[in-house]
Structure 1
């Protein structure tokens, strides 16, 4: 088997390993907040989509309804988000950031800036553009 075929055969494994490493890196830097990578995703989404429906947050993060439900409950219990019933649909719930949630977003942005610098170290802009295009391609193709 030539080198290119060996590399291509490992793409899924390499991508999943990188994703787990990225989550562990974020989780290790979340301190006592208990937010972690998944929670940061919710907070980031709410920072630009306040008063969002839980279903919309789940869709934006490609999360399952059961997974987002538990995560939102933990974030609410920790004081980062507030849940309110939707005025138009009693079955729907809206989420908004609390003041503590807004502070957590600022801290998480700092962690992500550090992570982006760590991940891009040693790559030039052209290489990073290809990586970004490839990741976008995967997201579109497999969605």
Structure 2
């Protein structure tokens, strides 16, 4: 590795920590507005359902890039807040679909505002072309999947 090669793993981890700080600040902002602020994962679930309501747990697992067991817990916690509800599918009694409730739908504009503020801060000073490259690279990293098996 040459000295001009960016320390991508370090930079990505450090950036994730800073991003989490921004998200936490936005959660606090929502809380001061007398709103129950969803966690980032809960916000992702609400956005996924706002885009396509009534998704199955499997569909949500793919949409959120989470293990099915993680989606189950996430839906349970979000359901306990009254933001979503699970119901058995019409065609198959084993399939559960998740539906956005009015309380969850009411959070969407607030979450959009929070994302707009975060995106404005993290993209400031970059051209659309530069951001396209960053987006492409992050998508590539996401698609890399599991590390290769070691012998």
Counterpart-to-counterpart distance in 2, 1:126 and 1:84: 43
Alignment partner of 1:130 is 2:127: no
Aligned residues: 140
> 1:2: which partner in 2?
2
Tell me the alpha carbon deviations over residues 97-134 of structure 1, each in whole angstroms, 9 at most, x when there is no partner.
11111111111111001111000012122211211121
CA positional deviation for 1:53: 0.4
Counterpart-to-counterpart distance in 2, 1:26 and 1:125: 23
Greater per-residue helix proportion: 1
> 1:47: which partner in 2?
50
SS in 1 for 2:66: coil
> 1:139: which partner in 2?
142
1:96 to 95, 99, 112: 99
| Dislocated runs of 4+, deviation >4 Å | none
Alignment partner of 1:112 is 2:115: yes
2:10 to 9, 13, 16: 13
* Alignment gaps of 5+ in structure 2: 147-151
2:62 to 56, 59, 62: 59
Counterpart-to-counterpart distance in 1, 2:21 and 2:42: 13
- Residues 27 and 91 from structure 1, CA distance in 2 versus in 1: closer, same or farther, beyond 3 angstroms? farther
Alignment partner of 1:79 is 2:82: yes
CA positional deviation for 1:78: 0.5
Counterpart-to-counterpart distance in 2, 1:89 and 1:35: 30
TM-score (norm 1): 0.87
SS in 1 for 2:97: strand
Tell me the alpha carbon deviations over residues 59-98 of structure 1, each in whole angstroms, 9 at most, x when there is no partner.
1111011211111111111011011111222222101111
CA RMSD between the two structures: 1.8
> 1:25: which partner in 2?
22
SS in 1 for 2:141: helix
Moved more, 124-133 or 40-49: 124-133
* Alignment gaps of 5+ in structure 1: none
- Residues 21 and 69 from structure 1, CA distance in 2 versus in 1: closer, same or farther, beyond 3 angstroms? farther
